[in-house]
């Protein structure tokens, strides 16, 4: 006899540092009492902040939520490069930063703002011929990742300060730390922005702190820590989650019935991208896209 399905919805987690995204999923599976749990958009173990967790039917939303705009608060260290482009990796080089000015930093950031071509960090989960990039790095393989188009909508310096850090030889070296905020498209690597900003300034750079503050409409104000979820676990109902994340289309009874059977019904001209369809009873029925005047179902939720 199968276990009755629990409530479907999202959990907005404020992920702690030192834990993988998969580790958070494992915790959520235990709390939700189901293995049907997933996440939208991986956060590195070092990173903290908003991690979207889907439970039961809401797991089908995750791939679409992962494509939405994201916002980060980060600290970039200029003057040192690391093998991972962040503080998790070994320092590979140190360069004097005495000549780095705020004007030069602003110019470097401007060059990395807008639609850009970005080469992802090699120590990443991107697959190269079926093998994770980080696996190839660990095996000592020499390879290059192709650049990919991403959009950095906003890249702003909140604070710039000079500090001392230990260099590759164990000696103190001068560095510049930048506290920045970034709003960007899915697929943007903040580590790569740090690396490329440092390279453009001739000083090298890497990420020392990263906190994701927003994924689409979901921000830290609605996120809960693992400790809070252990005390009181609840999901954001799938209807509320879909209404917050996607443009809404309210179908009448006949349209809802046909959509429930997978029929491609006529729709008004809709802007590009998924739309959440709701029936007269408020039930979330499907994500649809307009295709030649018809509703193309990209994910169904009626059953």
Encoded tokens for 157: 């310096």
CA–CA dist 228, 56 (Å, integer)? 21
Helix (H) or strand (E) holding 134: helix 133-138
Residue reference for tokens 């509703």: 295
44 as an active site residue: the answer is: yes
Helix (H) or strand (E) holding 25: helix 21-32
Helix (H) or strand (E) holding 15: strand 9-15
Phi, psi angle pair for 277, to nearest 5°: -100, 130
Choose, from 44, 85, 86, 196, the residue flagged as catalytic.
44
Q: List Cα–Cα distances, 208 to 51, 73, 118, in angstroms.
A: 19, 11, 20
CA–CA dist 51, 224 (Å, integer)? 10
Residues involved in catalysis: 44
């Amino acid at each position: 006899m199968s276990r009755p399905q629990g409530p479907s919805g999202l959990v907005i987690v404020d992920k702690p540092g030192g834990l993988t995204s998969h580790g958070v999923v494992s915790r959520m599976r235990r709390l939700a009492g189901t293995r049907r749990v997933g996440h939208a958009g991986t956060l590195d173990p070092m990173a903290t902040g908003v991690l979207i967790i889907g439970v039961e039917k809401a797991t089908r939303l995750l791939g679409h939520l992962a494509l939405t705009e994201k916002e980060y608060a980060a600290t970039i260290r200029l003057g040192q490069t690391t093998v991972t482009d962040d503080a998790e990796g070994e320092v590979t080089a140190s360069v004097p930063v005495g000549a780095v000015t705020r004007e030069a930093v602003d110019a470097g950031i401007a060059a990395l703002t807008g639609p850009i071509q970005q080469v992802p960090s090699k120590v990443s989960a991107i697959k190269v011929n079926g093998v994770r990039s980080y696996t190839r790095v660990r095996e000592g393989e020499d390879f290059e990742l192709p650049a990919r188009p991403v959009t950095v909508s906003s890249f702003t310096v909140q604070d710039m300060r000079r500090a001392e850090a230990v260099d590759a030889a164990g000696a103190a070296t001068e560095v510049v730390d930048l506290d920045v905020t970034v709003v960007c498209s899915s697929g943007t690597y903040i580590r790569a922005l740090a690396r490329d900003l440092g390279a453009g300034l001739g000083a090298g750079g890497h990420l020392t702190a990263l906190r994701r503050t927003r994924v689409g409409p979901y921000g830290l104000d609605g996120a809960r820590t693992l400790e809070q979820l252990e005390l009181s676990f609840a999901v954001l109902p799938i209807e509320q989650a879909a209404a917050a994340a996607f443009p809404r289309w309210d179908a009448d009874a006949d349209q809802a019935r046909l959509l429930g059977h997978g029929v491609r019904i006529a729709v008004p001209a809709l802007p590009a991208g998924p739309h959440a369809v709701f029936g007269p009873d408020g039930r979330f029925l499907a994500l649809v896209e307009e295709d030649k005047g018809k509703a193309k179902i990209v994910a169904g939720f009626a059953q």
